[in-house]
Copies of this chain bind each other. A is one copy, B any other.
Amino acid sequence: MMIVVMKKTATVKETAGVIRHIEELGLKPHISQGDEKTVIGAIGDERSIDKERLLGLEGVEAVIPILKPYKLASREFKPDATVVSLNGTKIGANTVTVMAGPCAVESYEQVREAAIAAKAAGARILRGGAFKPRTSPYAFQGLGRKGLEILARVRDEVGIPIVTECLSQDDVELVSDYADIIQIGARNMQNFSMLEKIGRQSRPVLLKRGLMSTIEELLMSAEYLLANGNYNVILCERGIRTFEKLTRNTADIAAIPALKTLTHLPVILDPSHATGERHLIPPVSLAGIAAGADGLIVEIHPYPDKALCDGYQSLTLEQFDAMMKQVKNISAAVGKTV
């Protein structure tokens, strides 16, 4: 990919001219409107690009190749941080945005109780699984469409947007009909055909890092979404697999600042799956914020002991409320608001 940096003084007409030229070469233009300058990415076979010719076009300041394997996701293409907006909520705008809710949607009452408590404690987004990825075909697979309906009802009643996972290409439209943010789970991070399909719809996406995936692979999967037209992508570190078995996974805390350097996309932390241990969730959440995360996604449950899944790693509503007080303290210490 080549990126064309337009002059600060470039007119809309000049920018349009560059876009047209790129399209005529059979390449796909991607536009990034920065605070000061507009940058146009040209994706496709670079050999069709005559760099001198491009430099000669009106309003063009520079033509630069992006050498990293991820292009649209890179800071080189877009130096300014991406902010994902969701009605009033902004993710990535010097805030710590907390998403909370039950692992699985079990009932209207359960979700409603969790949503009210989450919002009261300071969470901005409600999480909840309607479709659950389960290792066993015999385990509870989620309520499906009925779960989505519960989430949507609670959203409307409580006034909190929802994030929920899409598990199957066949459900992309269904999930995007209900969700405010579509989640792609760790096991599907490299389900490329689902990535393409979700990239072509317009809901913001929460992309979780695979248990076995490198930081670069996470960015490459984000690139699938961006290259298909969806620029509202939130990345999520959720722990990787290692030899250590005291915790369910190992939270790769350095991945947060590493990602923030490499990409303009917001990065959040899932302390629940990263640790798998209730008492470790608050300290690891604070660590994530201190390391620069733009938010958290936390499992909470009104009655964890009765949860249909992941109860042992769900905070009670009281524990979540207590944790949020610390979250606010740490956020303030790094100059962010919750």
Residues in chain A within 8 A of chain B (CB atoms): 1, 43, 69, 71, 133-138, 167-171, 187-188, 190-194, 196, 210-217, 220, 223-224, 227-228, 240-247, 250-258, 261, 274-275, 277, 279-280, 283-284, 286-292, 326, 329-330, 332-334
Q: Say which residue of B169, B214, B290 sits within 8 Å of A290 (CB atoms).
A: B290
Collect the chain B residues with CB atoms within 8 Å of residue A334's CB.
286, 326, 329-330
- CB pair A240–B250 under 8 Å, yes or no, is yes
User: Which chain B residue has the least Cβ–Cβ distance from A133?
Assistant: B192
> Top 9 closest A-B pairs, CB basis?
A212-B212, A168-B193, A290-B290, A333-B333, A286-B290, A287-B287, A257-B283, A187-B190, A287-B291
Chain B's closest residue to A70 (CB) is B136
With A43-B138, A188-B191, A290-B290: A214-B333 Cβ-Cβ less than 8 Å: no
Could you show 11 A-B contacts with beta carbons less than 8 Å apart? A136-B220, A137-B192, A169-B169, A171-B193, A214-B243, A240-B243, A251-B253, A253-B253, A283-B291, A286-B291, A290-B290
Known: A137-B223, A253-B284. 11 other contacts (CB 8 A): A167-B192, A168-B194, A169-B170, A187-B190, A214-B243, A242-B250, A243-B243, A253-B253, A254-B283, A286-B334, A332-B333
Using Cβ atoms and an 8 Å threshold, which residues of chain B touch A243? 212, 214, 240-243
Find chain B residues with CB under 8 A from A192 CB. Answer: 133-134, 137, 167, 187
Asked whether, in the complex, the Cβ of A258 is within 8 Å of the Cβ of B247, the reply is: yes
> What chain B residues lie within 8 Å of A275 (beta carbons)?
254
Contacts of A274 in B (CB 8 A): 254
CA gap between A333 and B259 in the complex, in Å = 25
Residue in B closest to A167 when the chains form the complex, CB atoms: B193
Residues of B within 8 A of A133 (CB): 190, 192
Nearest B residue to A187 by beta-carbon distance?
B190
Question: Which of B136, B167, B244, B326 contacts A223 (CB under 8 A)?
Answer: B136
